[in-house]
Chains A and B, each alone.
Chain A
Amino acid sequence: MTTVSWSSEPGTSRGPGPFLSVRDLSVRFSTEDGVVHAVDGLSFDVEKGTTLGIVGESGSGKSVTNLTILGLHDPAHTEIDGEIWLEGQELVGADASALEKLRGNRVAMIFQDPLTSLSPFHTIGRQIGEVYRKHKGASKKEARDRAIEMLERVGIPQPATRVDHYPHEFSGGMRQRAMIAMALVCDPDLLIADEPTTALDVTVQAQILDLLKDLQEQFGTTIILITHDLGVVANTADNVLVMYAGRAAERGTVREVLSKPSHPYTWGLLSSMPRLTSSVDVPLTPVRGAPPSLLNPPAGCAFHPRCDFPQLVGSDLCFTQRPDISPENGHGDACYLTLQQKRDIRTGDTEEQA
């Protein structure tokens, strides 16, 4: 049963706003153990032609959010609240045929593991071509030519031969290229890349990210890049959204979030990364504790059990009141610490490290 609420009728348009706007999105799954609050009151915007990097641990709701944009959850077990506007079209509660027309056409998605994500039973060319046939009404011949063109565009050598091969005859990097070719075959406005490089080795990873960047420059595609790798975000994204327990912890431009992080969780993420400049003997500092259960998330700020600073906030705000991201626009975070307190903690940090 899908309980959906929206402020206006689905399919109606709204005045010019951001290219993609997610407003107060909540996604709950009913499981045998209870209701999982996978996404809980998430809002963010993406401007046309930019790349938004979404980072966070496993289970922070990154993938769930993006599958919701495409309406790919099983409606029988999912409850969705909130709004998702894509250029004035409301996607939450949109009917199946409207979503089918959208998927692979205006909004395309690439997944983490290109081997399991491609059908083992059909040739690469057919899998690329059928998207084109479905959405553009192309003939078999046109679809095949388009598939070859796309394979060439994503840098697969001998595309005219490769088009008739099966996924198992491709290497990991090639498969992901083929996957990207498939996603871009209809020139989508929005590309959602769900950990596109996690299953690839480092050199291939760099090639794939470069490819995405090049394609974006050429075609002005808007990209949402889901990753848990801050290095990938630093190289590719314009804006960053840090997610924790299904909510936004921090949001801003890449420069703001990576060089002036303001949420304790982002600090933790950044200090858990190895640095080339530090000595190899210095142990990494992980974020202590484990991600919270989304069946029964902690009251107040979901991060408080792992946070070192609730006592600085003074009252029991962190334990009882859920923080919202502030300020409304620009660089913001969901934390009760004052700017001064954050500055003090950060300088202390740097002193410690020095």
Chain B
Amino acid sequence: MTSFLVRRVVGAIVILILISLITFYLFYAVPRDPARAFCGKICPPETLELVRHNLGMDKPLFVQYWLWLSAIFVGRDFTQFGPCPAPCLGYSFATQQPVFSAIVDRFPVTLSLTLGASVVILSFGILTGMLAAWKVGQPLDKIASSSSVIGASLQIYFVGPLVVFFLVDTLGLLPRPSYVPFTEDPLTWFVHLLIPWVVLSIIFTANYTRMTRSQMLEQLAEDYVRTARAKGMSGRSVFFRFAWRGAMIPIITIFGVDLATLLGGAIITEQTFTLHGIGELAVRAVQNTDLPMLLGVTVVGAAAIVILNIVVDVLYAFIDPRVRLN
């Protein structure tokens, strides 16, 4: 287990360095000059030079990258903004705010959104999928299967405003989506995020319903399930104790892959409900050619996905004894 974790963490660091390196070079492949934008409309060449120098953009690219990377671990002293202690992701070109604290401010919003939606997706998707498999061929199965096809085609930016219109504006059942920190008031946090969670999870839930159903049916046809029945196990215990384990393995695997898409969906959801999360930062950073912010958001987002994937792998080993972590 320990050696598995060490290996995975080392691998994760390599991946994060590669991602940041690619983002960094891609940024410079874009012809817009951030120094010019920073300098303003009327910009004499000497001021432009100064801005460049202050932003650290007059140095060779690999030196710039190295300074950015080392700042994460040892901090950095900016002539313009003053000292930036580790972990330092630099200052935003656009707002002059420290990137790290901007992300720390916004991260809980995106994390709440993603984790909450994950819970809805997994619990609801797996539950309906199992129900459909349990009642295969019966009306319940048909309803679950066909509604999952409809669900898969409902986009966030379409469903989101509709739900708000009906549940908030017309019926007044739920408050307008917003973010209240969990630590401040868990209940308000929950109630205000309910609509975004459900809207974000609709597309995914449908997928998990279909997957769970087909996986359960596949597992129920396995030899070991027949053995369990031949041993005198009841239909219910065969379904929930034997087949369930086997069906969960591919679902967890796919979920690990879907996490990245889910984070992307969270960004769209934030835009739809004007929640101030990482996604908003990312969109604005791209619009403003704000390199430090863009790098920061990318790396933190990637780190979240990599870490959650390690968690998924550990979970995997718990469910299937054939998977050994070492």
Chain A residues at the B interface, C-beta cutoff of 8 Å:
70, 72, 76, 96, 100-105, 108-109, 111, 113, 116-121, 130-131, 134-135, 166, 168, 179, 182
How many pairs, one residue from A and one from B, have CB atoms within 8 Å of each other in the complex?
Answer: 68
Task: Decide if B321 touches A182 in the complex (CB within 8 Å).
Answer: no
Task: Decide if B321 touches A121 in the complex (CB within 8 Å).
Answer: yes
* CB closest residue in chain A, given B242: A119
Task: Decide if A102 touches B232 in the complex (CB within 8 Å).
Answer: yes
* CB closest residue in chain A, given B220: A74
**Given A76-B137, A100-B234, A103-B232, CB of A120 within 8 Å of CB of B223:** no
Task: Decide if A117 touches B226 in the complex (CB within 8 Å).
Answer: yes
Bound together, the chains give a CA A314 to CA B231 distance in angstroms of 51
Task: Decide if B232 touches A117 in the complex (CB within 8 Å).
Answer: no
Q: For A76, A113, A117, which residue has the most chain B Cβ atoms within 10 angstroms?
A: A117
Task: Decide if B229 touches A72 in the complex (CB within 8 Å).
Answer: yes
Bound together, the chains give a CA A104 to CA B234 distance in angstroms of 12
Q: Does B233 contact A (CB under 8 A)?
A: yes
Bound together, the chains give a CA A70 to CA B319 distance in angstroms of 30
* Smallest CB separation, A69 vs chain B (Å): 10
- Chain B 217-260: CB-based contact to A (< 8 A → 1; otherwise 0): 00000111011111111110000001001100000000000000
**Given A111-B223, A111-B227, CB of A120 within 8 Å of CB of B232:** no
Kindly list chain A residues whose C-beta atoms are within 8 Å of the C-beta of B232: 100-105, 131, 134-135
Q: Does B322 contact A (CB under 8 A)?
A: yes
* CB closest residue in chain A, given B321: A166
Bound together, the chains give a CA A130 to CA B227 distance in angstroms of 12
Kindly list chain B residues whose C-beta atoms are within 8 Å of the C-beta of A72: 226, 229-230
- Interface residue from A116, A120, A131, A166 paired with B231 (Cβ < 8 Å): A131
Task: Decide if B230 touches A120 in the complex (CB within 8 Å).
Answer: no
Task: Decide if B320 touches A103 in the complex (CB within 8 Å).
Answer: no
Bound together, the chains give a CA A76 to CA B138 distance in angstroms of 12
Task: Decide if A134 touches B229 in the complex (CB within 8 Å).
Answer: no
Task: Decide if B223 touches A116 in the complex (CB within 8 Å).
Answer: yes
- Interface residue from A70, A118, A130, A131 paired with B224 (Cβ < 8 Å): A118
Task: Decide if B228 touches A119 in the complex (CB within 8 Å).
Answer: yes
Task: Decide if B319 touches A109 in the complex (CB within 8 Å).
Answer: no
Task: Decide if A134 touches B224 in the complex (CB within 8 Å).
Answer: no
Task: Decide if A121 touches B230 in the complex (CB within 8 Å).
Answer: no
* Smallest CB separation, A140 vs chain B (Å): 15
29 contacts between A and B (CB under 8 A): A70-B230, A72-B229, A72-B230, A102-B232, A103-B229, A103-B231, A103-B232, A104-B230, A104-B233, A105-B232, A111-B223, A111-B226, A111-B227, A116-B224, A117-B223, A118-B224, A119-B224, A119-B227, A119-B228, A119-B242, A119-B245, A120-B320, A121-B242, A121-B245, A121-B246, A121-B319, A121-B320, A121-B321, A134-B233
- Chain B 290-326: CB-based contact to A (< 8 A → 1; otherwise 0): 0000000000000000000000000000011110000
- Interface residue from B228, B233, B235, B321 paired with A120 (Cβ < 8 Å): B321
Kindly list chain A residues whose C-beta atoms are within 8 Å of the C-beta of B222: 116
Kindly list chain B residues whose C-beta atoms are within 8 Å of the C-beta of A102: 232
Bound together, the chains give a CA A131 to CA B224 distance in angstroms of 14
In the A-B complex, the 10 residue pairs with the smallest Cβ-Cβ separation, listed nearest first, are A104-B231, A104-B232, A103-B232, A116-B223, A121-B245, A109-B230, A119-B224, A117-B223, A166-B321, A117-B227
Q: For B137, B228, B245, B322, which residue has the most chain A Cβ atoms within 10 angstroms?
A: B228
Task: Decide if A182 touches B231 in the complex (CB within 8 Å).
Answer: yes
Kindly list chain A residues whose C-beta atoms are within 8 Å of the C-beta of B321: 120-121, 166, 168
- Chain B 34-69: CB-based contact to A (< 8 A → 1; otherwise 0): 000000000000000000000000000000000000
Kindly list chain A residues whose C-beta atoms are within 8 Å of the C-beta of B224: 116-120
Bound together, the chains give a CA A116 to CA B224 distance in angstroms of 6
* Smallest CB separation, B4 vs chain A (Å): 18
* CB closest residue in chain A, given B234: A100
* Smallest CB separation, B207 vs chain A (Å): 24
* Smallest CB separation, B202 vs chain A (Å): 31
Kindly list chain B residues whose C-beta atoms are within 8 Å of the C-beta of A96: 235
* Smallest CB separation, B112 vs chain A (Å): 33
* Smallest CB separation, A187 vs chain B (Å): 14
Bound together, the chains give a CA A130 to CA B229 distance in angstroms of 12
Bound together, the chains give a CA A101 to CA B232 distance in angstroms of 6
Bound together, the chains give a CA A130 to CA B228 distance in angstroms of 10
Kindly list chain A residues whose C-beta atoms are within 8 Å of the C-beta of B229: 72, 103
* CB closest residue in chain B, given A76: B137
Bound together, the chains give a CA A100 to CA B322 distance in angstroms of 30
Bound together, the chains give a CA A111 to CA B229 distance in angstroms of 12
Kindly list chain B residues whose C-beta atoms are within 8 Å of the C-beta of A119: 224, 227-228, 242, 245
Bound together, the chains give a CA A102 to CA B232 distance in angstroms of 7
* Smallest CB separation, B232 vs chain A (Å): 4
* Smallest CB separation, A229 vs chain B (Å): 20
Bound together, the chains give a CA A166 to CA B320 distance in angstroms of 10
Kindly list chain A residues whose C-beta atoms are within 8 Å of the C-beta of B320: 120-121
* Smallest CB separation, A226 vs chain B (Å): 14
Given contact pairs A100-B234, A104-B233, A166-B322, a sample of 14 additional A-B residue pairs in the complex whose CB atoms are under 8 Å apart: A76-B137, A96-B235, A100-B233, A104-B230, A104-B231, A105-B232, A109-B230, A116-B222, A116-B223, A117-B223, A117-B226, A118-B224, A119-B227, A119-B228
Kindly list chain A residues whose C-beta atoms are within 8 Å of the C-beta of B137: 76
* CB closest residue in chain A, given B137: A76
Kindly list chain B residues whose C-beta atoms are within 8 Å of the C-beta of A166: 321-322
Bound together, the chains give a CA A113 to CA B224 distance in angstroms of 10
Q: For B223, B230, B242, which residue has the most chain A Cβ atoms within 10 angstroms?
A: B230
Bound together, the chains give a CA A118 to CA B230 distance in angstroms of 12
- Interface residue from A108, A120, A134, A135 paired with B322 (Cβ < 8 Å): A120
Bound together, the chains give a CA A182 to CA B320 distance in angstroms of 21
Kindly list chain B residues whose C-beta atoms are within 8 Å of the C-beta of A179: 227
From residue 64 to 99 of chain B, which have CB atoms closer than 8 A to chain A? none
Task: Decide if B246 touches A108 in the complex (CB within 8 Å).
Answer: no
* CB closest residue in chain A, given B249: A121
Kindly list chain B residues whose C-beta atoms are within 8 Å of the C-beta of A131: 231-232
* Smallest CB separation, A309 vs chain B (Å): 40
* Smallest CB separation, A221 vs chain B (Å): 16
